[in-house]
Amino acid sequence: MRVTVQKAEDIATSALAKLGYSPKDTETISHHLIDSELRGYGIAGLARILSIADRLAGEQPRSAIEVTTQSPTSAQLDGHDTLGYLVAHKATQLAIEKAKASGVSAVGANGTYYTGMLSYYAEMAAAEDLVTVIASNCTPWVAPEGTFKPLVGTNPFCIGVPTDGVPIIYDIGTSKIIHAQAMLARRKGEQLPTDTAYDEDGEMTTDPDKALKGALKVWGGAKGSGLAIAVQLLGILAGSPALPPDLQDFGYFIMVIDPARFRPMGDFKREVGKLIEAFHSAPSISGAALRMPFERSNRRRAEVKAGGVLEVDDVVVERLEKLIQGE
């Protein structure tokens, strides 16, 4: 369904308010979700509000994020079961403040769920000329290489670097498909892509119901499994249990670095620019120019904003409108 960006924003704001979020929290969550839509990740855009509604199950959303410990360069936050879009946003803001003051910072957060796109937080820091390393673990929905038992989360990992133009942001999940994709396929009555999920007995399946009872397949074989395990460990460092319960107690870890503490910022950006230019000018096997991570996402966002129209799944819009109407 084609909807204007403004209508999508209105739907998100109204639906989140209906769920009980404050105007301030609604603005924070909505901006993240709409950014996901603008960048072409509708699976984790407006559709995520339906999953949040399922998770709340009629209860008032929580917002008591507590800083439990901190130093000039570190902090630990307990989200007390607050939505991850809010917890990670606060953790990132705190990490940015500390890195700007001290040169480097590390902040962990636990007691949360649904963190969203790690690239969103990396872009926040890149706008302040800061480098980031971010990891977020979650419920074990993913089977690592060699088993069909879910032992790790979808576990995204992200690195962000500021430039004189579009930041370089590498944000990748460590499962072949994300949990939100299986959830949306179930809502729409569609099948999953082949070779992406197991049922409870270890047989490959395209049925989202069976996949959600079984496991998603890890991305990248043994190498992807290793990265997923590394993210799981950083989640533990951030206060999460080793195997978080279903949609509970996810961990979020962010390290923020001020490049100017290592070399002059102009020098740093100049060298990063040389790398970008080397990629852009390299001969292409496919005929399409090589791009740096985040360039395509950033370009799509600009194009959609200019056009003012989004493509959103009919089912998602219809269910959100029913939610807003209290049906």
Those residues of the chain that have pLDDT short of 70 are none
Question: What is the pLDDT at residue 286?
Answer: 87
Question: What is the pLDDT at residue 148?
Answer: 98
Q: Where are the beta strands (DSSP E) in 53-164?
A: 66-71, 74-83, 104-113, 131-137, 142-143, 157-161
Integer CA distances (angstroms), 139 to 114, 136, 154, 240, 271, in order: 10, 11, 8, 10, 39
Rg (CA), the chain: 20
- Asked if 12 and 50 touch (Cβ cutoff 8 Å), the reply is no
pLDDT tens by residue, 227-240: 999 999 999 999 99
Question: What is the pLDDT at residue 288?
Answer: 85
Question: What is the pLDDT at residue 211?
Answer: 98
Residue 267 CA to residue 260 CA, distance in Å, equals 9
Question: What is the pLDDT at residue 55?
Answer: 97
Sign of CA dihedral 121, 127, 128, 134: positive
pLDDT tens by residue, 127-174: 999 999 999 999 999 999 999 999 999 999 999 999 999 999 999 999
Surface-to-core class of residue 33, CB atoms within 10 Å of its CB (0-12 exposed, 13-18 middle, 19+ buried): buried
Question: What is the pLDDT at residue 293?
Answer: 97
Question: What is the pLDDT at residue 216?
Answer: 98
Cβ neighbours of residue 307 closer than 8 Å, sequence gap 6 or more:
none
pTM value? 0.96
Reported CATH class of domain 2-60+298-325: mainly alpha
* Residue 315: alpha-carbon gap to chain centroid: 22
Domain map (residue ranges) of the chain: 2-60+298-325
